[in-house]
Amino acid sequence: MKIYPALLALLMALCPLAEARKPNFIVIFIDDMGYGDIGPFGSKKNETPHLDRMAKEGMKLTSFYLASSVCTPSRAALMTGSYPRRVGLGKGSGHVVLFPGDPHGLHPKEITIAEMLKDAGYATGCFGKWHLGDQPEFLPTSQGFDEYVGIPYSNDMWTGLKRWKFPHLPILRGTKVIDQVKDMDGQADLCRLFTVEAVKFIEKNKDKPFFCYVPHAFVHGPRKARPEFMAKAKTVEEAQVEECDWSAGQILDAVRNAGIEKDTFVLFTSDNGGAGGLSSGPLRGGKGSMWEGGFRGPTVAWWPGTIPAGSTCPEMTSAMDLLPTFAKWAGGKVPADRVIDGKVVSDLYLGKEGAKTPHDRFFYNASNNLRAVRSGPWKLFLKGPLHNLEENLGETKNYASQRPGVVKRLKGLMKEFEQDLKKNSRPVGVAKNPRTLVPRPGVEGEEAYTPTLWIGKQKK
């Protein structure tokens, strides 16, 4: 029987033969890399050919914000789409970040990007530094990830850092410790290890939608790269940045080799501003500061055929936007029973003409304290100057005396934020009887597993 083209088109519209494939998501989250450390963001020191190509084929986001200028809070925001203070992780239980055996962690009732995507039919994998709690209920496999290979907290939380009594640095597969980092050669191998595991995950799941989260330990101290990178670099920072570029290249090649590049969104950024020895480029400050250099990441997005090649987005976006944006693209559900601070920014990533940021404010917090707010080009410190980031990106000129109306409005935004947090915050996760994952060397019995912050102190 002959079927005319118009009739065939109608039948296919009414009864589609196959659903359009959901996009894959890969997030490469470097630790402590500065805004000016890669070629697309102006570095002349570090050779980053893979990231250069990624930017040429994709988009640079020049006002992409992390929600904190230190590790744990930044990661909590990425996972939940919420400001760290809203989920109880503006800081650790007794330090600015979580420590080995810390009783605090990301609450099991929080809904992570991984859980949202898993519910939408995605395979989920995490390969690298977690730092959202090392007790069983806080680990990635309890927070929506099917697979996890990595370290549970920062790579400097090991016996090499003498001012704390740390155990060796554990490497986990799932919830099981499979190895321990005991020397600098072990530190140097972490980038390779996480990259290999990520590539395996991509290859294994190429025929179905997946979310691959790669939170590297590089370039956080203590720093060492593999010999082939150390041999050609002038500094260890240069070697580590270039090995991170190698890693991004391996991951992008895995996507290309699988033939799924037109179905895969890849984001490269850092968890916070650059630490010592790294570059903030044109920005003031770095890791731990409230200046732009503490909160903006060197961010590149790639999705061939969907994201405009060679494009730049200067609009304000945030790591918190990933959860709602991924949910829109994946057909996932954003939690409706809680405040989510991230916004859908798909039009910005897609380069739609005239698209503007949905954010009319962004808040800068240090631990559990609000320090500044940005609205449009204006940034006001709670106890300090008013800056215009369009006219003076380096934050060296104070406009407060010239713009009292702007100062008043931004102070009002900060007051609103504090009031909102009091009404709409969720509790931190608290583990009973916490213990470290591995024993401290030279200590016998259960005492060897005492949480680091409790050593020498009365149990809390």
Tokens 């709690």 belong to 133
* Catalytic residue set: 71, 131
The DSSP code for 296 is: B
Query: Which residues touch 89 (CB under 8 Å, ≥6 apart)?
Result: 72, 73, 76, 98, 104, 106, 132, 428
Q: What is the dihedral of CA 141, 144, 148, 151, to 10 degrees?
A: -80
With CA atoms as reference, report the closest residue to 209 among 298, 336, 122.
122
Rounded-to-integer distance, Cα 279 and Cα 65, Å: 16
H helical segments located in 352-449: 404-423
Phi and psi dihedrals of 160, rounded to 5? -70, -20
H helical segments located in 122-264: 184-188, 190-204, 227-230, 236-257
Q: Which residue pairs from 371-376 have beta carbons closer than 8 angstroms and sit at least 24 positions apart in sequence? A: 371/290, 372/290, 373/410, 373/413, 373/414, 373/417, 374/316, 375/409, 375/410, 375/413
Rounded-to-integer distance, Cα 175 and Cα 142, Å: 9
Cα→Cα distances 327→25, 163, 201, 376, 455, Å: 11, 43, 21, 26, 43
Beta carbons of 239 and 225 less than 8 angstroms apart: yes
With CA atoms as reference, report the closest residue to 344 among 363, 326, 330, 331.
326
With CA atoms as reference, report the closest residue to 22 among 115, 121, 127.
121
Beta carbons of 166 and 193 less than 8 angstroms apart: no
